[in-house]
Amino acid sequence: MLSLYKNKSVMLLILLSACLSSQVLAQAVPEYEVDAAWPKRLPNNWIIGQVAGIAVDHNDTIWVVHRPQSLTPQEAGAIQNPPFSICCVPAPSVLQFDQAGNLLQAWGGPYWDRQRSIWVDDSPDGVWPSNEHGIEVDLEGNVWLAGNGDENLVLKYNNDGSELLLVIGTVESGDAPEMDAGDFDEVIITGGSNDTTRLGRPAEVEVDDEAREVYIADGYGNRRVIVFDMDTGEYKRHWGAYGRVPNDEPLSAYDPDAPPAQSFLGPVHSVRISEDGLVYVADRTGDRIQTFQKDGRYIAESFIAPWTRSNGSVWDIELSPFAGQPFLYIADGANNRIWIVNRESMELVGEIGSGGRNAGDFDWVHNLAIDSAGNIYTAEVNEGKRIQKFRLSD
């Protein structure tokens, strides 16, 4: 059994283990097989681009956010002027599927104006992210979107995307330019990792419905987790690596033979909350997960595929839906694997997929989500540009 820990600490493992259910030990390691027929063909000659977020809601429907602007002219040949081919048309950015792979609804994002040869944003209030990145759905059915472009905002929409309910991130303080709702196409300046009103190219959100809070992995520009009230957008708290006050000093690239960086190397790419109240944070190019209490108190650190350089190994995190949540599932877009990790020992116990283009392979697997039956859904960026379903084997 391969340990994914680097610099083990017995005390940290004891603290982490104390938070977990004894039912973990009784769980067998799950096995999966790809469902090559999922999802079904999209209507309207639609095609999806890089898929930068995937989520499962409490009704077990699957939500996807993709990047229409990542499609090449050849892939979106039908919208060119004149058309290159009969295929295809970019789908709206947000799509919802049922368990069978049927499309339930689609909305949001820019559309291609063929006459002017430009992308046009007609979303509510004109605040759509220029580079979609992450999606979450709360228990009320509201849809949360992040974007790692220059807008530095997290957006909360109603279920059908017709109403923008909340914008987290502001340009009303410090040295940021004064802008009104019609100016969101302009670059918004981040105030750094200790600014409590502005974000820094946020990567993903996690909603704590019971506490009425939203956690933001912030992100590509900042080095922190930051928490807001999910109804009002009021700032609550934030922290950096090891639960410390974050800083933005220059850092060296990840070196598996060097001591761990004392700041998140970034991007801070994912944040997930377990049923027992632990907060798991993905430091992507640091090849590590750090675990915290909800108030930001540091618990433990574990390294995932610590040989990985460049784009890093920890892209997204999900938790098993079964009693005790015995496993973590880690999307690793560099090694093109889903790692299955025992949540108590933080040891690798299984893996899914490999690099390639066949069903069940990955090209930059970016996100994953899990339904209540334990089936896994994956999203790919780069040239992958697809979603896949992996069924839990009997």
| Residues 54-77 pLDDT 10s | 999 999 999 999 999 999 999 999
Distance (Å, whole) CA 391 – CA 237: 38
Q: Residue 300 is which amino acid?
A: A
State residue 297's pLDDT score: 98
State residue 188's pLDDT score: 56
State residue 394's pLDDT score: 82
State residue 17's pLDDT score: 44
Distance (Å, whole) CA 90 – CA 141: 25
State residue 158's pLDDT score: 98
Distance (Å, whole) CA 252 – CA 15: 30
Least confident of 100-109, 183-192, 280-289, 348-357: 183-192
Distance (Å, whole) CA 205 – CA 269: 9
Q: Is residue 307 predicted with pLDDT exceeding 70?
A: yes
Considering only CA atoms, which of 373, 370, 367, 374 is closest in space to residue 387? 367
Considering only CA atoms, which of 281, 348, 287 is closest in space to residue 317? 281
Distance (Å, whole) CA 338 – CA 380: 12
- Can you list the domains of the chain with their CATH numbers? 10-392 (2.120.10.30)
* Angstrom distances, CA of residue 205 to CA of 46, 81, 155, 216, 269: 27, 38, 10, 4, 9
Least confident of 31-40, 120-129, 175-184, 231-240: 175-184
Instruction: Give SS3 for 126.
Output: helix
Beta strands per DSSP E along 132-257: 132-137, 143-147, 154-157, 164-168, 204-208, 213-218, 224-229, 235-239
Q: What is the mean pLDDT of residues 319-334?
A: 97
